[in-house]
Structure 1
Amino acid sequence: MESVRSSTHRSRGRSRLTVTGVLTGLLLTLSVPAAVPDSAAVTPERGSAYMGMGVLAHDGALGDATDDSLSGSRTGQTEGVDVSSHQRDVAWSTLYGSGVRWSYTKATEGTSYKNAYFTQQYNGPYKLGMVRGAYHFATPDSTGGAAQADYFLAHGGGWSRDGRTLPGVLDIEWNPYGPACYGKSKSQMVGWIRDFLNRYKARTGRAAVIYTATSWWSQCTGNYRGFAANPLWIARYASTPGTLPAGWSSYTMWQYTSTGKTVGDHDRFNGNLDQLRDFASG
């Protein structure tokens, strides 16, 4: 009889443990989100890319680019911002009051996307006396470099010698829609970039600015050094701009922090306001 009771007690104990374990497992399942496989990641919609989108995803924030850490590099430099449709109508007077003196607005992407907020974002700073410019987000997997330069110029990417309009920018960085280098070999990528730059200069008389990150440039162009005649806008979210791509001994602009979709990314022109206006004048 005692043996039966002991056996029954052990059986009930095991049942309680089993039920407890099942309940615990269910609670953990409910409280901890399941990991989403990389393959299930949602590809953004074409046209939604913005300057630094790929840089932040691949290089990340390499250090806290705080006001204190940048105080030394700020001397002799001029604060700017870059914006896209994600910012919608920008409060330019607020930015001007905070010390921002120049801006770049995304105009186009590929040969099919135009920024619906371009007019407000491009003309707004100009009316306040700021220096402004436009940039093109490159998608070398969609159409050729010359065709994209033409599209950019047809939709806001032009330049004028008024001292307040900056030369257009080729934003060339990681592909947010697929393979990092857009399915191109290093030599093919160099050729695509050359086609864009040559067409832009032929039609405007100005060399376009190249916006990129050193790590992308090394990965996708083989650290090609042949475009150093074009001004460099380096992207690096840290307290220093770091090592530059091959061929450039200095940078013209530096995107030092990415604040996402709220107020735009912050940048520095490597010179004072008079030098910025001289650069705009060509």
Structure 2
Amino acid sequence: MKPSGGIKTGYDSVRATGTQGIDVSRYQGGIDWAQVSAAGTRFVAIKATEGACDYAYCSHFETNAGQARNNGLAVGGYHFFSPSSDGKEQADYFLRIAQPAAGDLLPMLDLEQSGDASAAQIAAGAMGWLQTVEGAIGRRPFLYTTASFWNEIGAPKGFEAYPLWIADYGVATPALPDGWADYTVWQYSQQGKLAGVSGPVDLDILKRPLRSVLL
């Protein structure tokens, strides 16, 4: 599972010790998880929720999660953060739908959209989500973002203890947001090709042992 299109990334430098994964949402449609597993994928983050309302529920989550688990992948849910909704309410919604359990990949907060909210509102809402989920599962969730977005909202303090899932493409090493010395997961392509997935898919590499990021 290498980046497509000849893009040079840091994938080759970390694959010897890293673990291959993907993240998906309803946009990937039907997925053949047996083929995904056979291609060497070991973990997947699946979009479970967005915002705080039931209309945003990702109907593919339960189906994909069950099939991925049946094919030996570590599965976690992720939440697409909405700046217009209360962070704790969004976390409660996520926990109700994703129901993280022992053996799952740590949940992930996808933070990449500012809307009309201020930087302070975004930071407070994101922290509310992270702390609520952390309180429920007893572990710190992943925080997914980009260096450019993080700096755009003022590089808020206090998030450094949360494991970083960084997105950066076509580079040898990902740019890190202010506050983190390293990443835990790197989303190194958003246009990847993988057996079992009909269209483009996000490709990820985990630097730590997989067991260290499981509940």
Q: Give the TM-score category using the shorter length.
A: 0.7 to 0.9
Q: 2:178 is matched with which residue? A: 246
Q: In structure 2, what is the Cα distance between the partners aligned to 1:173 and 1:145?
A: 14
- Out of 125, 130, 139, the residue aligned to residue 73 of structure 2 is 130
Q: 1:257 is matched with which residue? A: 189
Q: In structure 1, what is the Cα distance between the partners aligned to 2:90 and 2:145?
A: 17
Does the CA contact (< 8 Å) of 1:64 and 1:238 recur in 2? no
Q: In structure 2, what is the Cα distance between the partners aligned to 1:127 and 1:265?
A: 21
1:92-107 pair list within 5 angstroms:
92-107=33-48
- Out of 96, 111, 117, the residue aligned to residue 184 of structure 1 is 117
Which structure has more relative contact order (CA 8 Å, sep 6+)? It is 2
**1:127-159: CA deviation from partner (whole Å, max 9, x where unpaired):** 111111010011112x10000000001111x32
- Out of 173, 182, 186, the residue aligned to residue 112 of structure 2 is 173
Q: Evaluate the alpha carbon distance shift between residue 66 and residue 96 of structure 1 in structure 2; reply closer, same or farther with a 3 A threshold.
A: farther
The structure with more radius of gyration: 1
Does residue 1:76 correspond to 2:11, yes or no? no
Measure how far apart 1:195 and its partner are: 1.0
1:126-275 pair list within 5 angstroms:
126-141=69-84, 143-156=85-98, 158-162=99-103, 165-174=104-113, 181-220=114-153, 222-259=154-191, 262-271=199-208, 275=209
Q: In structure 2, what is the Cα distance between the partners aligned to 1:151 and 1:170?
A: 13
**3-state SS of the aligned residue for 2:64?**
helix
> Which structure shows the higher strand fraction?
2
Measure how far apart 1:75 and its partner are: 2.1
% identical equivalent positions: 33
**3-state SS of the aligned residue for 1:115?**
coil
Q: In structure 1, what is the Cα distance between the partners aligned to 2:49 and 2:7?
A: 29
Q: In structure 1, what is the Cα distance between the partners aligned to 2:152 and 2:173?
A: 18
Normalising by structure 1, what TM-score?
0.68
Normalising by structure 2, what TM-score?
0.88
Q: In structure 2, what is the Cα distance between the partners aligned to 1:81 and 1:151?
A: 23
**1:218-256: CA deviation from partner (whole Å, max 9, x where unpaired):** 002x11231111110000012334321122111110100
Q: Evaluate the alpha carbon distance shift between residue 241 and residue 108 of structure 1 in structure 2; reply closer, same or farther with a 3 A threshold.
A: farther
Measure how far apart 1:265 and its partner are: 0.8
